[in-house]
Amino acid sequence: MSSFPDTGDAFIEYLQIEKNASPYTVKYYLNDLETFFAFLKQEGIVNLQEVDTKVVRLFLTTLYDKKLSRRSVSRKISSLRSFYKFMEREEIVQINPFLHLTLPKAKKPIPGFLYMEELEKLFEISDTTDPIGQRNQAILETLYATGMRVSECQGLTLDSIDFSIGTMFVKGKGRKERYIPFGRFAEIALETYINEGRKQLFKNTAKTNAVFLNARGGPLTVRGIRLILNKMVEEAAITVHVHPHKLRHTFATHMLNEGADLRTVQELLGHENLSSTQIYTHVTKDRLRSVYMNSHPRANDQNSDQRGEDSE
């Protein structure tokens, strides 16, 4: 009989070595295992082979009693399904009690995004004559130009940016790597910051190749970037709720609204599955109506007249 900690450690090692899971992914799996093991201990279950569908349903009930969202519950069950699949492979258990457990699908909310006039307010906030302002402007332009995650932005190094061809090399979710192009506005902001502001922030004692530095000359953290963006939103007096990930939503929405195909946006965002990108296929009501009015043969008199002329 394997102890819970030993089995859990073996699974985490499997994720790190065989699956090459990122530290963030491992952290979530570990948290989900600890929740499950604590539940088993409370129920007096000491052998993982004792876990059957009845135990699983009871565990599910305790999760809902804690008022967890369907998304959080689904993630925990998915983690434990993978855990038991691993234990089956290692012949620690014979049956995966999570295998056929069905859960109500969590409704995916339509991502919020910013309109251009709201973005312009953000772009005008930073004092680009100041090192901190140059850095903040470069962060904002980079996030909107590339659609990358805040964690990916934080991980950028000087040698990951190729100004000669306007691309960035990004290490993304699940340690997957990709190249992302960037445009002229981001190029100007980055070159200004790297050639001026970063040199002033950089301290000789801080040996770092990170692009974005804090006031002490060390690499900015993910939390630091989020705080910077939150402060910029506050100063811009934007009334809608804006979180850093909304810039990623905005990038995807604007690309699709301007005619980019779904597969290209999927690749730019670093999504493994197309279904993850499809949530961005919403368009603004104004654009929907504009496309409809200009395209439908009987949407207005002008379209109807044009069809008549074309048939003559």
Residue 132 has pLDDT above 80, yes or no: yes
For this structure, is 173 an active site residue?
yes
At 224, the pLDDT band (50, 70, 90 cuts) reads very high
Least Cα distance to 82 among 30, 40, 46 occurs for 30
Catalytic residue among 173, 178, 226, 282: 173
271 labelled catalytic:
yes
Percent of the chain with pLDDT over 90: 42
pLDDT digits (tens, 9 = 90+) for 296-309: 777 776 655 554 55
Catalytic residue among 135, 248, 249, 254: 248
> Cα separation of 275 and 124, whole Å?
35
Q: Which residues contact 267 (CB under 8 A, 6 or more apart)?
A: 178
Residues 156-209: tens digit of each pLDDT: 999 999 999 999 999 877 778 899 999 999 999 999 999 999 999 987 656 789
Residue 22 CA to chain centroid, in angstroms? 14
Q: What is the pTM of this model?
A: 0.62
- Structure confidence at residue 283 (pLDDT): 59
pLDDT, tens only, 64-83: 888 888 888 888 999 999 99
Domains and CATH numbers, the chain: 4-89 (1.10.150.130), 116-285 (1.10.443.10)
- Say which of 76, 149, 198, 246 is annotated catalytic: 149
Q: Return mean pLDDT, the chain.
A: 84
Q: Is 245 a catalytic residue?
A: yes
The pLDDT of residue 101 = 84
249 is catalytic: no
| Banded pLDDT at 48 (limits 50, 70, 90) | confident
Res 39: pLDDT: 94
pLDDT, position 40: 93
85, 171, 245, 282: which is the annotated catalytic residue?
245
pLDDT reported for residue 307 = 47
Is 282 one of the catalytic residues?
A: no
DSSP readout, 250-287? HHHHHHHHTT--HHHHHHHHT-SSHHHHHTT----HHH
Instruction: Clarify whether 71 is annotated catalytic.
Output: no
Residue 24: phi, psi to the nearest 5?
A: -65, -45
- Could you tell me which residues come within 8 angstroms of residue 280 by beta carbon, excluding any fewer than 6 positions away? 111, 249, 252, 253, 256, 265
What does each C-alpha distance from 276 to 6, 49, 270 come to in angstroms? 35, 35, 10
The one-character DSSP state at 157 is: B
Q: In what order do the strands lie in the sheet with 161-162?
A: 161-162, 167-171, 177-181
pLDDT in tens, 278-299: 766 665 556 667 767 777 777 7
